[in-house]
Structure 1
Amino acid sequence: MGACVSTPAIPIKMRRKLPGRPRKYHGKNSKSASKINGDAGSMVTDIEFVHKTTTCRRSECSNSKVHVTQMQWHHSQIDANVLCQEDAWFDTVSIFESDSDDEFSSVNGGAPRKYLLRPRAGLIVPHCTEEKPTVGSWSEIEPSIFKLRSSSFFIDKKKSPAPNVSPYTPIGVDLFLCPRKIHHIAQHVELPSVKGDGKLPPLLIVNIQLPTYPAQMFIGDADGESLSLVVYFKISETTEKDVSPQFLESIKKLIDDDMEKVKGFAKDSIVPFRERLKIMVGAVNPEDLVSSSTERKLLNSYNEKPVLSRPQHSFYEGSNYFEIDLDIHRFSYIARRGLDAFRDRLQHGILDLGLTIQAQKPEELPEQVLACVRLNKIDFVDNGQIPTLLSIEEDNCSY
């Protein structure tokens, strides 16, 4: 517990993103697992690294020093209704603060920019356990909040509250600013040590990539400055007992990337089972988000309705986790315009987020929730308060 671990300084290359100069993402989407340092009880304290970093401007390059220190969580600054999870099961977190007055400052309000290198997963957004939601927190919800395909759906097309069990339960939420989209985000954070039964991954990670730039009709390379909303789930201890064998089999097919035959009008086709994945987003207080009939109509068209995530999704596996990346950058123009319209007001919204696997046969009914969480009035507009997650690449850094 009290041991001090010495780690050599890691050189990090960083380039300032210049306006009007798009860059290709050089990240590598490896399927290898991230190495987890230490166990659930280990904690690294009193560590300071000093790195030399080169920052580039249009006409000159200058060297600056970046100091890395452990994040300090002051319980007096956190609402009594919010649980700080530092002592739960996390490892270490590093914060980068620039010594330069202009290179790493937020353009919104001049607040100093925070840079994170391999932070502990789930420390950015606190956990709220009270019935009254605390601003900027997350909380657990019952899966039955979502209405999914009922047992008689293929007969009457009716939906009903989902069974009140889910195989995965939330354990943490992060919100990162990324100069470019970060794929396979599990490689860039310190994951908790969670044990499973060997049948399903003990950790499920959902990385929702949200563009911060205005929606364009033509998306080009569909990349740019992004927010990553990352939700971490762990396997429930009662999954095998509470969840139907049919749904467990569907989850296994999703993870194993099975293929299935789908009947078509002219001929049958073979498609990935993963194309059945659906995302649900529901606004608990829609009246606080809309200001006109047009916005109300737009919100109602998406509110609480399961939507297939294909083809804007990707999947990654590690030794103890399965990650789902949902790329909103590549969503339809209307959906991205909707995000732009509501972005400023999402800080007033209470949002329920869930995942399910679409049932396509009677024996797969009723549909069940894979995982779900509630987001309580989280601000998705960066005013300097959202830390930037750094991704280190072997050859190049995409900043």
Structure 2
Amino acid sequence: MRPAEALAPPAAPPGGRRPGDGAAPTHARKPSLDRLKAKMQALNCYVSHALDDGNPPPARVANAELTKSGPASPRGVQKEAAARKAYTRTPAPPRASPAPKGINLVPQGNLACLGVRSNSDPPEAEGHGWHEVSPTRFPVRGASYLADHKKLPSASAVFEAVSVDTFGSSAIEEDFAVRPGTSAYELLAHRADTELLILNIQLPGPPNLTLLHVFQRVKPAAGTVAPGAPRDAEAAHRLWDAFREASPDFRSHRLKILANPIGAPLAIRTAVPNRPAILGTRVPLRWHRRERSLEIVLDVAFSAVAAPAWRLMRSATTKIVLDLALIIEGTTEDQLPEQVLACMQWHKPDFSSPAQCPPIVSPRGGADGARPKSAPNRRPS
């Protein structure tokens, strides 16, 4: 007998027990139990990920490998735990809720909206576009103005700012409520409960520049102010309804504009004083009244006051921060206190690349004021 064979343990007999063994080993059936546990774990993992995208997660692959390889070892359990922790289930995409019937998203103009500007925010912020502002920035006639001539901050605004568009053209552009491709047209087409106030400022070029401000008021179901509204709101909405139905001459002599340059060079702050002015006495106005909209056209080119101010501002618009508000003048006790009709803020706007003005696809009409007697492509300098 060789020395190596003498040192080797005796071979196990056919029954599985070596000579000298006392009892049968206690782990004889453990491999099958571990396989069963591994199969159950794999089944549970499969059920928990049955709604996945079809790719087996790492934990499921680890369970399959454990099932093939036999009993679970501490290292295999650690691998499975690490695989489960690393696997992140992709959540299902959120289901989009349908929009209410007749209401679409508010269209955006091509001049960027920079958000809501607080009364305490400094004007040195970055960005080129326009801001929504609180009407409390603007002083208006109080309820006792006829007796004490005191002005107070406006409580609220009748209309809210929606969008601002800038268009370049060689002609006078107006009546945008019937022009597809503009935010005013889209709002009127998709919302039956909306009334619009459109401020159209025509600036001389070349090219001629159109600043189109769109403000909206959501009309109550009954066509009046909601019950329980403050007296200020009742007076302001009642005055607006009368203003809308009045003659163009009445509107031109009752609409006030308040332009406050809070950030601009000294020459511009001097040329644009911070006090309200009757708009029709400074700039020629034209009006386009439709069923649910009123457009005000300010033709700066034909104004002896506004045209020089625009020539001064034109090369420095990206340095100007200007608060702008429209107010209907209240002259009797039942028309007070006044309330801001609409307001917004120009914040360093960039007018160097205006969009092309949408074409007219329907005949003009509904104008309450005569257009100036001049060729559309010739504007005073």
Q: TM-score range by the shorter chain?
A: 0.5 to 0.7
Is residue 152 of structure 2 the alignment partner of residue 160 of structure 1? yes
The counterpart of 1:233, out of the listed 212, 215, 220, is 215
Structure 2 partner of 1:314: 286
1:387 to partner: Cα distance:
1.6
The counterpart of 1:298, out of the listed 271, 276, 281, is 271
Structure 2 partner of 1:191: 186
The counterpart of 2:133, out of the listed 132, 136, 141, is 141
Deviation string 1:92-139 (CA, Å, 9 cap, x unpaired) is xxxxxxxxxxxxxxxxxxxxxxxxxxxxxx430122226575422222
Q: Distance in 2 between matches of 1:126 and 1:251?
A: 28
Q: Which runs of 5+ in 1 are unaligned?
A: 1-37, 42-87, 91-121, 214-224, 260-270
What is the 5 A alignment of 1:165-180?
A: 165-180=156-171
Letter in 2 for 1:145: R
Distance 1:40 1:226, change over 3 A: farther
Deviation string 1:267-307 (CA, Å, 9 cap, x unpaired) is xxxx635531112211121xx322x5xx55323xx334333
1:351–1:374 Cα contact (<8 Å) kept:
yes
Letter in 2 for 1:388: Q
Q: Distance in 1 between matches of 2:210 and 2:330?
A: 29
Letter in 2 for 1:367: E
Structure 2 partner of 1:277: 255
1:146–1:304 Cα contact (<8 Å) kept:
no
Question: Which one has more relative contact order, counting CA pairs under 8 Å at least 6 apart?
Answer: 1
1:194–1:202 Cα contact (<8 Å) kept:
no
Q: Distance in 1 between matches of 2:363 and 2:245?
A: 31
Structure 2 partner of 1:216: none
The counterpart of 2:197, out of the listed 197, 200, 204, is 204
Structure 1 stretch displaced more, 239-248 or 320-329:
239-248
1:195 to partner: Cα distance:
3.5
1:370 to partner: Cα distance:
0.6
2:172–2:376 Cα contact (<8 Å) kept:
no
Q: Distance in 2 between matches of 1:344 and 1:335?
A: 15
Distance 1:89 1:298, change over 3 A: closer
1:327 to partner: Cα distance:
1.8
SS at structure 1 position matched to 2:311: helix
2:285–2:298 Cα contact (<8 Å) kept:
yes
SS at structure 2 position matched to 1:209: strand
Structure 2 partner of 1:343: 314
Q: Distance in 1 between matches of 2:280 and 2:330?
A: 15
1:40 to partner: Cα distance:
5.2
1:312 to partner: Cα distance:
1.6
SS at structure 2 position matched to 1:248: helix
The counterpart of 2:354, out of the listed 375, 383, 386, is 386
Structure with bigger gyration radius? 2
Kindly report the root-mean-square deviation, in angstroms, between the aligned alpha carbons of the 2 structures: 3.1
1:283–1:304 Cα contact (<8 Å) kept:
no
Is residue 113 of structure 2 the alignment partner of residue 127 of structure 1? yes
Distance 1:155 1:39, change over 3 A: closer
What is the 5 A alignment of 1:42-191?
A: 88-90=105-107, 122-129=108-115, 131=117, 133-163=125-155, 165-188=156-179, 189=182, 190-191=185-186
SS at structure 2 position matched to 1:353: strand
Q: Which runs of 5+ in 2 are unaligned?
A: 1-100, 365-374
1:358 to partner: Cα distance:
0.6
1:179 to partner: Cα distance:
0.8
What is the 5 A alignment of 1:213-228?
A: 225-228=207-210
SS at structure 1 position matched to 2:337: coil
Q: Which runs of structure 1 show a deviation greater than 6 angstroms over 4 or more consecutive aligned residues?
A: 393-399
1:367 to partner: Cα distance:
1.4
1:321 to partner: Cα distance:
2.2
Letter in 2 for 1:257: A
Q: Distance in 1 between matches of 2:279 and 2:329?
A: 8
Q: Distance in 2 between matches of 1:317 and 1:194?
A: 18
Is residue 364 of structure 2 the alignment partner of residue 372 of structure 1? no
Structure 1 partner of 2:240: 251
Q: Distance in 1 between matches of 2:103 and 2:141?
A: 39
Q: Distance in 1 between matches of 2:363 and 2:165?
A: 27
2:114–2:130 Cα contact (<8 Å) kept:
yes
1:166–1:370 Cα contact (<8 Å) kept:
yes
Q: Distance in 1 between matches of 2:262 and 2:126?
A: 14
2:158–2:236 Cα contact (<8 Å) kept:
no
1:352 to partner: Cα distance:
1.2
1:157 to partner: Cα distance:
2.9
2:285–2:297 Cα contact (<8 Å) kept:
yes
**Percentage of matched positions with identical amino acids:** 22
Deviation string 1:343-387 (CA, Å, 9 cap, x unpaired) is 21121111111111011113322211011111211023x3xx212
2:161–2:343 Cα contact (<8 Å) kept:
yes
Structure 1 stretch displaced more, 148-157 or 225-234:
148-157
